[in-house]
Amino acid sequence: MEEEIYANVDHHLVYGYRFDVFLSFRGADTRKNFTSHLHRNLVKEGICVFLDDEKLEKGERIGPSLDKAIEGSQMFIPVLSVDYASSKWCLNELVQMLEQKRVILPVFYRVDRGDVREQKGTLKMSFLKHEERYHKDVLETWRTALRDVGELHGWETDNMGNQNEADLINMIVKRVLHELNKITYYVAEYPVAVDSQVENLVKMLNPKDPGARIVGILGPEGIGKTTIAKAMYNRIAHHFDASIILDIRKSTSLIQLQNQLLREITKNKTMHVGDISRGVNVMRERIKDKKVLVILDGAESRDQIQALACKKEWLHRGSRIIITSRKKELLNVVNEIYKVNELDAEQSLLLFCQHAFGTEEPEEGYVDIAKSIALATGGIPSTIEKWGSQLMDTRCMDEWKDTLGMVERSMNFIHPKKKKKEVWSLVKMD
C-alpha cells in the first residue's frame, strides 16, 4: 500500500542533487528481476537513478563514488530482501541513507517488515555471522538502521493482494515522480509579511481560472521578490504536472537555462538543445501538453524573456508563469503585475529586532535607536537584514549611532507618500 514515507525530511536542502534516486539492493537477491525492472522503469520516466552496475552484475562490489552518490541523491529506495542484511555494504548504505534525513521509500521484498525491524528470521542468522567479525558498536549501528527503516511505511511484496510486481513497480515510479515534484525552497530566516504578500499574489494568479496566466512580480533590488516567489512555489507547486524556479541571475547562458527548463518539464535528464531558436521551438512543443508552473527569477533583458518565457498561447490549461524583475518595461508580456510593497514601520522594526536582538522587540535602552535605524532603511528587507545582522554582536551605543548615520547618509530622497526615509543608494531600480 502506498503511504506517506518520510525520514525527518529537511525541506531546506532538497534541491541541487546529482541523482533523483539512489537504489540500494542486495544483488544476489534481486539483480535479475525486481531491481533491474524497477531501475528500467524509473529511467524510462526520465528519473536519474544511481545504481552500481558492478554490484548489479556481481552482487557485492561497491563503486568508489558510493559515498558521494548517496550524498548527491534526493531520495532513496532500499530494496530490503531476504539476504540484504548479510552484506556489510548494504547495511552501511542504509546507515548513510538515514543520516541524510531525506525521503526514503523502502521496499520489503519477500521479507516481513517485522523481521527487518527486529532482526528475526534470516536477518538474525546474518547478524550471528556478523558478530564473529565486527565490533558491537558497528553491529548496533546496523541494528538501529534496520529498526528505523522498519518503522517507515513502504511496500511489502508479501502483502500485495491481487497485485503483481509490475503493479508494485508502477506504484513506486508514480510515488517517486510525485516526490520529485514536491521540492520546496528555503524562504527566509524571518519571513516578515511574506504570507500576506503571497496571499495577494495568489489572488492575482487566480487558481480558479482554468486558462493559462502569466504574472509579473515587480520591485527594486532587495525588496523580497525572490523570497515571495519561493514561498509561492512552495505553496502551489504540488498542483502542477511540472514546476521549476529558474534563477536567471546565476547563469549567463540562455541555452543552459533552456535545457534546465526542458529537462524539468519533460523529466528527461538527457534532453539537450544546442541553440536558442531551437530551444524556443522545443519548448513550444513540449509545454503544451502539461500543466506547468515556471518562475523566472531576476529577469534583466528582453532576450531572457523571449528565450524562456513561454507565450500564453503555447501553455496548457491551468499553467502559470511568474516573472520577477526590477524593470517594469520587461513585464509587458504578463497579464498582471504584482508590485511588492516596502515593509511598514512596524514590520521594519520587527524584522530589524529579529536580526539585531534575536527577539521581536528592542532591548531596554535601544528602543529609540532601533526604531530610527529600522525607519531609515526604507522598509527594504535586505537592507534591514544587513544592518540588523551587523549590530547583532555589539551593544556599544556609539557603534549603533554610527550605523544610523551611515544609513541616513546613504539615502538620496524621501518617499513623499509614506514620509519614510528610503535608502535607494542601496537599492537599485531602473
One CATH from 3.30.930.10, 3.40.50.10140, 3.40.50.620, 1.10.3470.10 for 11-180: 3.40.50.10140
Q: Which pLDDT score is estimated for 182?
A: 66
Q: How far is residue 270's CA from residue 53's CA, in Å, rounded to a whole number?
A: 19
Q: What integer pLDDT is reported at residue 60 of this predicted model?
A: 44
Which CATH entry fits the domain spanning 194-339: 3.90.700.10, 3.30.365.10, 3.30.1330.10, 3.40.50.300?
Answer: 3.40.50.300
Q: How far apart are CA 412 and CA 376, in angstroms?
A: 11
So what's the pLDDT on residue 345? 96
Q: Which residues sit opposite 108 in a β-bridge?
A: 80, 156
Angle CA(216)–CA(219)–CA(223) in degrees, nearest 5?
125
Per-residue pLDDT of the chain (430 residues; tens, 9 = 90+): 333 333 443 333 333 467 889 999 987 767 678 999 999 999 887 788 998 654 444 444 455 568 888 988 889 999 999 999 999 999 999 999 999 888 999 999 999 999 999 999 999 999 999 999 999 999 999 999 999 999 998 999 988 878 899 999 999 998 898 887 666 788 898 999 998 999 899 899 987 788 999 999 999 999 999 999 999 998 888 778 888 999 998 877 999 999 999 998 888 888 899 999 999 999 999 998 889 999 999 999 999 999 998 788 999 999 999 999 999 999 999 999 999 999 999 999 999 999 999 999 999 999 999 999 999 999 999 999 999 999 999 999 999 999 999 998 875 443 444 444 443 333 334 4
Q: Within the chain, how many helices (H) and strands (E) appear? A: 18, 13
CB atoms within 10 A of CB 5: 17
What is the rounded distance in angstroms from the CA atom of residue 212 to the CA atom of residue 317? 5
- Answer whether 11-180 and 194-339 agree in fold: yes
Closest CA to 219 of 384, 8, 424: 424
| CA nearest neighbour of 98 among 147, 59, 139 | 147
Residue 293 β-bridge partners: 243, 320
**Domain definitions of the chain by residue range:** 11-180, 194-339, 345-422
**The three cell numbers locating residue 194:** 511574506
Task: Give the CA-trace dihedral at 137, 140, 145, 151, to 10 degrees.
Answer: -160
Residues β-bridged to residue 263: none
Question: Residue 207, CB half-sphere, CA atoms under 13 Å: how many?
Answer: 12
Residues known to be catalytic: 93
From 346, 330, 424, 418, select the one nearest 382 (Cα to Cα).
Answer: 424
Q: What is the DSSP string of 16-69?
A: S-SEEEEEEE-HHHHTTTHHHHHHHHHHHTT--EE--HHHHHHSS---TTHHHH
Q: Comparing C-alpha atoms, which of 414, 415, 412 is closest to residue 426?
A: 412
Q: Which of 348, 256, 261, 239 is nearest to 309 (CA)?
A: 261
Read off the pLDDT of residues 271-300 as tens digits, 9 standing for 90 and up.
899 999 999 999 999 998 889 999 999 999
pLDDT at 417: 42
The helix/strand/coil state of 103 is strand
For residues 227 and 198, give the distance between their C-alpha atoms in angstroms, rounded to a whole number. Answer: 10
pLDDT of residue 282: 94
The pLDDT of residue 414? 39
